[in-house]
Amino acid sequence: MLIGELARRTGCTVQTVRYYEAEGLLPPSMRTEGNQRIYVAEHERRLGFIRHARELGFPLKSIRTMLSLVDRNDRSCAEIDHIAREHLSEVLQRIARLDALKQELERMVAECHGGQATECRIIEALSDQSHEHAPFRDDRPG
């Protein structure tokens, strides 16, 4: 299986596959005489794992850790469980933040009745200096 086929099967791009290899998440593959990568089923499984984890929002760093635990055949899955729980709690926090944000945005657009930008309610809402200035850290990805 060449890289294009693997990419098609796993639903990611050719560049991404090469990127994962360069990052050491996928082991280097064999090559044809013409230097093209050849993949086997094991690569597809591993890439499928990475892909699914990425879809769930795990950062590559966590995925790297999980893969190394699996590779080492670690005695317990406690660490994997920990990573998943941490990630879940981040997701919950993001949802909470986005919900607050959604409400503010909904309020803003609801109050806009058209008119001049100088008297736009959205601008006013955004200009409102009364909200607290918590040390702002936009720690997306969200």
Partner DNA sequence: GTAAGACCTCCAGCGACTAGAGCTGCAAGC
Partner DNA sequence: GCTTGCAGCTCTAGTCGCTGGAGGTCTTAC
Q: Which does 65 bind (CB under 5 to 8 A by kind): DNA, a second copy, none?
A: none
Q: Does 61 interact with a second copy (rule: CB under 8 A)? A: no
CB of 33 vs a second copy, minimal distance in Å: 31
Residues 6+ apart with CB under 8 A from 29: 21, 37, 38, 39, 43
| Dist CA 10 CA 2 (whole Å) | 13
Q: Does 104 interact with a second copy (rule: CB under 8 A)? A: yes
Contact between residue 11 and residue 48 where contact means Cβ atoms under 8 Å apart: no
Of 15, 78, 77, 26, nearest in space to 50 by CA? 26
**Which ranges in 3-120 belong to alpha helices (H)?**
3-10, 14-22, 41-55, 60-72, 78-111
| Dist CA 77 CA 75 (whole Å) | 7
Identity of the residue, 31 or 71, whose beta carbon is nearer to a second copy in the bound complex: 71
Q: Does 85 interact with a second copy (rule: CB under 8 A)? A: yes
CB of 61 vs a second copy, minimal distance in Å: 15
Per CB under 8 A, residues contacting a second copy are: 9-12, 45, 48-49, 51-57, 66, 69-70, 72-78, 80-81, 84-85, 87-88, 91-92, 94-95, 98-99, 101-102, 104-106, 108-109, 112, 114-120, 122-123, 126-129, 131, 133-136, 138, 140-142
